[in-house]
Amino acid sequence: MTASPPRAARLRAPSWRDPRLLVGLVLVLGSVLVGARTVEAAQRTTPVWAAVAPLAVGQVVDAEDLRVVEVRLDPGIAGAYVPASTPPAADWVAVRPLAAGELLPRSGVGTGTELSVRPVSVPQSSVPAGVAVGVQVDVWVTWGREADAGSAPRAEPLLTGAEVSAVTGAAGSLGARRSTEVQVLVPQERLPDVLAALAAAEALILVPVPGTGGAGA
């Protein structure tokens, strides 16, 4: 007598009560939610202030100097920039050079009392090429021939890497330009030396530092 072959097991549709089905549904729904939140976060933008034009150290910053831009910022760094919901304060000045289009960092604006430099006007009969707002210059002091010693004129370095914050021309008769005032930012601890040189020296000469330009290049 031969044994009967075993019956093939029939495949049954999984019941909604099957734990494996429930786990699979939870994983699918979780993936969909995570993906949706990722896309939403990637598309979320934050309105912040940005500089319209270059701003030099010490320059007053008001609403006309700023524009609102929508940017995507990582939550970890979003707090480093000034949101557009914060109106410019009346006493804001740039405490570091800001380039055109640069997002306005909280560390880039402050009050005048926070500046470690002060603007000093240096008369120039001839402004070297390249001297403009935002450019760094070395300041040299020149002394004329001393009658007593009969020594030759000499030049000495007075200040290095001072930033130019303004350049203004003074017109003479018939509109002819007599001189130009170049405003440089002098560290407060060097103010006595620079002011003394302005009063006693024959001239202060500005020499632009190659490769600089900051906000005004």
pLDDT tens track for 182-208 = 989 999 999 999 999 999 888 899 999
Residue owning tokens 């909280």 = 106
Contact 160, 138 (CB under 8 A): yes
Domain ranges, ordered by start, for the chain: 46-112, 116-208
Band of residue 82 on the pLDDT scale cut at 50, 70, 90: very high
Contacts of 80 (CB under 8 A, 6+ apart): 105, 106, 107
CATH number of the domain at 46-112, please?
3.90.1210
Q: How many residues does the chain have?
A: 217
Distance CA 103, CA 113 (A): 23
Contacts of 65 (CB under 8 A, 6+ apart): 51, 52, 53, 55, 59, 88
Cα dist from 88 to 19, 81, 158, whole Å? 59, 13, 37
Please give the model's pTM, rounded to 2 decimal places. 0.58
Tell me: the pLDDT tens digits for 13-44?
656 666 766 677 777 777 777 665 655 555 57
- Tell me the average pLDDT of the chain: 80
Structure letter (DSSP) for residue 98: B
